[in-house]
Amino acid sequence: MFDFSVITHWIDNLLRSWMPENAALFVEFVLVGVVLLLTYAVIALALIYIERKVCAFFQCRLGPNRVGPYGLLQSVADMFKMLIKELIEIKHTDKFLFNLAPYIVIVSSMLAFGCLPFGRGLIAIDFNIGIFFIMAVSSIGVLGILLAGWASNNKFTLIGAMRSGSQMISYELSIGLSFLTMVVFAGTMQTSGIVEAQSSGWFIFRGHIPAIIAFLIYLVAGTAETNRGPFDLPEAESELTAGYHTEYSGIHFGFFYLAEYLNLFIVSGIATLLFLGGWMPFHIGGWEGFNQIMDYIPSVIWFFGKVFVVMFIIMWFKWTFPRLRIDQLLRLEWKYLVPISLVNLLLMVLVVIFKLHF
C-alpha cells in the first residue's frame, strides 16, 4: 500500500534545500493550510449534492438535475450565489459577536478536520493526545452557536441556540465515553497509533460486544451532535424559522451551512478512525490472496469509502425518523445513553484486562 509520507518527505527535503529551515517550515504550514481549505470546500460541495440526492431517493424524487449533467454543478451555482449575496446588517444586535460567531464555528470544524488520517502518511495534525485534541476543538463550535443565537437579538435564534447548547453539551458525554472506550482498547490516543493498532483487524470486529455498543451509541450521539434529524431541534423550521442562524445572510450563513456538512464528515471520519480501521484495508486471517488484493486499493479510497458509508447511515436517520421533542432528546441521553456508556466502558476495561478480545 502506497505511503504518502514519501511525497511529503520529498517536498520537505526540496524546500529545505532551497531555503532556511524556518522559511521552509512556514511554506509547509501554508501549503498544508491551503490543501486542507480546498479539500474542506470540495467535500462540503460534494456532500450538499449527495444529501440532496439521498433525500430525493427516500422521497421518490429526482433531486438536482438542471445545472450541469445530473445536477452536479448545482452546489457550485449555490456557492457562487452565496458568495455574492449581500451581508444584511441587523439593527439592535451585538455586531462584533454577531460577525464573530460564524468564524468560531468554521475554525472549530476546520481544526477537527485537520486531525483526520486521510490515508497512509496523509495526516496534518498527529499529536500523541490526538483524540483528546479532537474532542477539545470540536467542543468550541457550540460557543459560536450560542453567540450567534444571543447576538442576533431574536427570540427564535436564542431558543435555537439554547436548544443547541443543551443538546451538544449533553451528547458530548456519550461521544466522550465512546472515545474513551476505544482508547482503552487501543492503548493510545494518537490517531495514527489507533489506525496502526487495527492492522490485524478493525476494532468493531476485534472488540466484541463493547465495541459494537460503543459504535451504536456514537452513531446516535454523533447525529445529535451535528444537529441533524431526528435531532434537528435547534433548526426546527416549523417552530424556529431557521434556528440560531435565522438572521444570517450571505457568506456568514454559508459558514454555518458548510460547518454543518463538514461536521457530518468529521463525525463519520472519527467513526471510521475508531471503529472501522481508518485507512486500513479489510483483511481476513489466512486469506493471503484476498488480503493482497485489498492492499492494492489505495488507503485514501478505503478511508473515504468507509466515511461515505457511515454518512449514508446518518442521512438515512434524517430522512426516516420524525423529529424528537426536546424532553425526549434529553431523556434519551441522560437516562439511557450515559448509563449504558458507563457500563460499556467498564465492560471494555474487563475485556482488555482479561484479554478477552481477538
Query: pLDDT of 124-133, one tens digit each?
Result: 888 888 899 9
Contact present, 203 and 341 (Cβ < 8 Å): no
Contact present, 351 and 185 (Cβ < 8 Å): yes
The pLDDT, as a whole number, for residue 240 is 67
Q: How confident is the model at residue 332 (pLDDT cuts 50, 70, 90)?
A: very high
pLDDT at residue 6 is higher than 80: yes
Residue 119 per-residue DSSP state: B
Contact present, 102 and 270 (Cβ < 8 Å): no
Mean pLDDT computed over 210-224: 93
CA distance to 3, 11, 236, 273, 281, per residue, from 8 (Å): 10, 5, 45, 22, 22
The pLDDT, as a whole number, for residue 358 is 64
Q: How confident is the model at residue 149 (pLDDT cuts 50, 70, 90)?
A: confident
Mean pLDDT computed over 43-59: 91
Q: Which of these, 41, 63, 61, lies nearest to 52 by C-alpha position?
A: 63
Mean pLDDT computed over 147-169: 84
Q: Which of these, 138, 126, 118, lies nearest to 302 by C-alpha position?
A: 118
The pLDDT, as a whole number, for residue 259 is 86
Cell numbers for 180? 474513551
**pLDDT tens-digit map of 183-206:** 999 989 999 899 998 888 899 988
Q: Which of these, 249, 247, 233, 239, lies nearest to 328 by C-alpha position?
A: 233
CA distance to 65, 210, 344, per residue, from 53 (Å): 10, 34, 37
For the chain, domain boundaries: 87-353
Contact present, 197 and 278 (Cβ < 8 Å): no
Q: How confident is the model at residue 318 (pLDDT cuts 50, 70, 90)?
A: confident
Contact present, 349 and 182 (Cβ < 8 Å): no
Q: What is the 3-state secondary structure (H, E, C) of 57-77?
A: HHCCCCCCCCCCHHHCCHHHH
**pLDDT tens-digit map of 96-110:** 888 899 999 999 999
CA distance to 197, 244, 251, per residue, from 79 (Å): 40, 21, 9
Mean pLDDT computed over 330-356: 92
119 bridge partner residues? 122
Backbone φ/ψ region at 343: left (φ over 0), alpha (ψ -120 to 50), beta? alpha
The Cα 133–Cα 124 span in angstroms is: 13
The Cα 194–Cα 127 span in angstroms is: 12
Contact present, 201 and 282 (Cβ < 8 Å): no
pLDDT at residue 79 is higher than 70: yes
Q: How confident is the model at residue 229 (pLDDT cuts 50, 70, 90)?
A: confident
The Cα 194–Cα 289 span in angstroms is: 26
Cell numbers for 353? 484486562
Name the packing angle between helices 250-275 and 299-318 (round to 10°): 110
pLDDT at residue 285 is higher than 80: no
Q: Which of these, 82, 85, 111, lies nearest to 257 by C-alpha position?
A: 82
pLDDT at residue 323 is higher than 70: yes
The pLDDT, as a whole number, for residue 272 is 95
User: CB count, 10 Å around CB of 163?
Assistant: 26
The pLDDT, as a whole number, for residue 148 is 87
Q: CB neighbours of 331 closer than 8 A, spacing ≥ 6? A: none
122 bridge partner residues? 119
How far out from the chain centre does Cα 16 lie?
34
**pLDDT tens-digit map of 234-271:** 676 666 676 777 888 888 888 888 888 889 999 999 99
Q: Specify the range with the lowest mean pLDDT, choosing from 130-134, 228-232, 334-338.
A: 228-232
Provide the residue type at 73 as one letter: L
The pLDDT, as a whole number, for residue 41 is 87
Residue 334 per-residue DSSP state: I
| Residue % of the chain over a pLDDT of 70 | 97
Cell numbers for 17? 534545500
Write the burial class of residue 335 (CB in 10 Å: 0-12 exposed, 13-18 middle, 19+ buried): exposed
